[in-house]
Structure 1
């Protein structure tokens, strides 16, 4: 057996300088020496790769620094203090309280928000805003809550289908857009009147039916809250039907006919309109004779 030392050109590496290999004498041929050199080169490249990684991490050279953004101590502490999941109750500086679910320090999920003014919201949240289905109410005497709105919300605003209750006893059931009645809806007013039809920006707009407290009703077109366009006005108290055109809430031109159950009306007219004469109406004054028309 012959003792062979490491090649001198590689002996500058500490862990190579102490290595000695006991190799058989038959390794004197060139092929065996090449295999040995290949093994040592592999070990050398592995060692250099580890040293280069350490250099990149610890070097002060800007172009060798890691591109990963580092957070300050205060930023790391702030992230660690983010509210996530269910919280029993959170108070803010104005005195409002929130009880419910959080995500990344924002109200997200199911929760109850109570304001110092007495208003209360219970429902869905998304990214800190009311979003989904929810109920808004306010405090009344004897610790009772009166519902103001129940329905759909979108990014903190009433939007979708919902029911709103008003202080005078009126309530609305229908579509909403951007906190306003918009689309198809029904409204029961405190004075006994009723409207069902299209809305736009909190006003009657489009086709709709308006019923008065005395039973009379108008069916037709509306614009900006006023009768505007073609329509029918049923005088159910007198048993007559008025058909015509309205402009800015006033009848421009129309015809008047008797309803077949006129005599059963609450206050029927004294005489029926003759069948062979078309009653022409300007405004609300009926014209029932040919002489009056001329």
Structure 2
């Protein structure tokens, strides 16, 4: 069935507000779109028109990850209404609460910044599970509270990184997995977007670290495994070895000693044949760093 006449989609959009319809037109359109078959056509046309007013980045993401319609049955308390265009440029189509006249239930909204919200609305707020597409094409899918990521969800950035895990007030908070375009992978705890507490981190150069973090830096006890297999067991302070540490290479050579913020103070070096030498008396600290390929952490 085609939608036509004074209550058609095109006229509703051109009028730019549901309140410009006469009461007879509004009642006719409301009754029509409550019927599932007619609403299927209407919602499809609304979403097609919404695609036209999205920027290219948003439209590309929208078409890749959404279905062509948001058809859901209404309850006694909810109803579908014509596309609503607000004075500030926001647009909404979906379910409304008949009594409170607020957005309630499933719907799709485009704000004045060309960001798309698609999912559940509660008391006029985008809250619950849903999809949020940013103006650059990046998107978030998961739990939301007043349009902010809050709970469990996943963000996919057009820049190539992804994060899946816990959120609070639109920031990474709690356990999650972050993957970057450079190949880095962090799995662990976050506080306000920063790596904090216990976590596992595969770095761009192939180094793997498992241990404690503070403000995204290695801080506290942890174990680093370098790309060639060398293992470092130590205390870190702001990404630098600090305190007593043990370093072991696959060939059996080992260093056990004390560090002060990235600098070797003293210790014992054992070569692959088992011979022990004192540091710095018999072996210079820089030689130790060269042997274990950890020059970059020395001042």
The unaligned stretches of length 5 or more in structure 1 are 1-80, 141-145, 263-271
CA-based RMSD: 2.4
Q: Does 1:251 align with 2:245?
A: no
Match of 2:253 in 1: 273
* Cα distance in 2, alignment partners of residues 284 and 209 from structure 1: 25
- Please say if residues 156 and 163 of structure 2, whose CA atoms lie closer than 8 Å, have aligned partners that are also in contact: yes
Q: Identify if the C-alpha distance between structure 1 residues 171 and 151 changes in structure 2 by more than 3 Å, giving closer, same or farther.
A: same
Q: Within 5 Å, which residues of 2 pair with 1:8-23?
A: none
- Please say if residues 273 and 279 of structure 1, whose CA atoms lie closer than 8 Å, have aligned partners that are also in contact: no
1:237-285 CA deviation, whole Å, 9 max, x = no partner?
3x210001011221103110124xx6xxxxxxxxx416xxx53363376
Q: Which has the higher contact order (CA 8 A, sep 6+)?
A: 2
- Please say if residues 138 and 158 of structure 2, whose CA atoms lie closer than 8 Å, have aligned partners that are also in contact: no
Q: CA deviation at 1:153?
A: 1.0
Q: Does 1:184 align with 2:178?
A: no
Q: Does 1:109 align with 2:105?
A: yes
Match of 2:91 in 1: 97
Q: Does 1:87 align with 2:112?
A: no
Q: Identify if the C-alpha distance between structure 1 residues 100 and 188 changes in structure 2 by more than 3 Å, giving closer, same or farther.
A: same
Q: CA deviation at 1:166?
A: 2.4
1:188-219 CA deviation, whole Å, 9 max, x = no partner?
01222110000011100110011112321111
Q: Identify if the C-alpha distance between structure 1 residues 228 and 139 changes in structure 2 by more than 3 Å, giving closer, same or farther.
A: closer
The unaligned stretches of length 5 or more in structure 2 are 1-26, 28-76, 270-275, 282-299
Aligned length: 193
Q: CA deviation at 1:130?
A: 1.3
* Cα distance in 1, alignment partners of residues 240 and 221 from structure 2: 11
Q: Structure 1 stretch 111-120 or stretch 192-201: which is displaced more? A: 111-120
Match of 1:26 in 2: none
Q: Within 5 Å, which residues of 2 pair with 1:235-246?
A: 235-237=226-228, 239-246=229-236
Q: Within 5 Å, which residues of 2 pair with 1:200-211?
A: 200-211=191-202
Which has the greater radius of gyration? 1
Match of 2:273 in 1: none
TM-score, structure 1 length as denominator? 0.60
TM-score, structure 2 length as denominator? 0.59
Match of 2:221 in 1: 230
Which secondary structure state, in structure 2, belongs to the residue aligned with residue 192 of structure 1? coil
- Please say if residues 256 and 281 of structure 1, whose CA atoms lie closer than 8 Å, have aligned partners that are also in contact: no
- Please say if residues 121 and 127 of structure 2, whose CA atoms lie closer than 8 Å, have aligned partners that are also in contact: yes
